Structures are given as C-alpha cells and as structure tokens.
C-alpha cells in the first residue's frame, strides 16, 4: 500500500453494503455481502479521479485486514480482489477453502 493511504480510515458503509475509503474527496470502494462466517467481495471500484493513485489496491488491502481481524472467511468474487490475492499469496490464508476458484489462487 502506498504511504499516502496508510492512515486513511476504512469505513464499513452498512447502508450501501460496501467497504470504502475517501481520498481527496473521492471514494474507492468494494461492494460486499456478509454472513455470520463469510464476507463476499463482489466489485471493486475507484472514482475516475483516483485512477492510477493506488486507491483501489489500498481499499482491497484494508478490507482484507478487516476480514482477517473479524475472523471471517473471504469469498473473492471480484476479479480485482482475486488478482490482488494471486499477486499477494499470503492473503490466501483468509480465503474460504470452499470457494470455487480456491485452487486457482
């Protein structure tokens, strides 16, 4: 994660069912669905003003930290999150082994 994102707070926006960070007045977020044991990450997006800043990667990494701290398992349906975990395989530790693409990570 780029240093400029390290101190930005991750917000779990219950109303919009997403995790989000705000940087310079713009948002990067991940849509999610949650059960008592799992969090499914569906779609990652950053506003166009954040293109190339690393905001999308920052919101993913912060969300993965949140999931790990919660003790829940991850279902990485979002292709961006899936690719992030492939590039950072240590995060596979929080992926639910029952996830259909688990062996492709």
Interval 8-45: pLDDT, tens: 999 999 999 999 999 999 999 999 999 999 999 999 99
Q: Count how many Cα atoms sit within 13 Å of the Cα of residue 6 in the half-sphere of its side chain.
A: 4
Strand partners, 21: 28
Question: Is the torsion defined by CA of 15, 43, 75, 12 positive or negative?
Answer: negative
Q: Does the predicted TM-score (pTM) go above 0.85? A: yes
Provide the angle, in degrees to the nearest 10, between the axes of the packed helices 79-87 and 55-70: 80
Euclidean distance between the first and final Cα of the chain, in Å? 20
CB 78 within 8 A of CB 30: yes
């Amino acid at each position: 994660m780029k240093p400029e994102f390290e101190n930005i707070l991750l917000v779990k926006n219950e109303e919009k069912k997403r995790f989000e960070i705000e940087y310079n007045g713009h948002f990067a977020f991940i849509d999610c669905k949650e059960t008592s044991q799992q969090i499914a990450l569906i779609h990652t997006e950053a506003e166009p003003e954040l293109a190339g800043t690393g905001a999308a990667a920052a919101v993913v990494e912060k969300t993965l930290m949140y999931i790990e701290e919660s003790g829940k398992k991850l279902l990485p349906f979002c292709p961006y999150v899936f690719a992030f975990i492939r590039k950072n395989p240590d995060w596979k530790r929080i992926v639910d082994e029952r996830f259909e693409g688990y062996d492709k990570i």
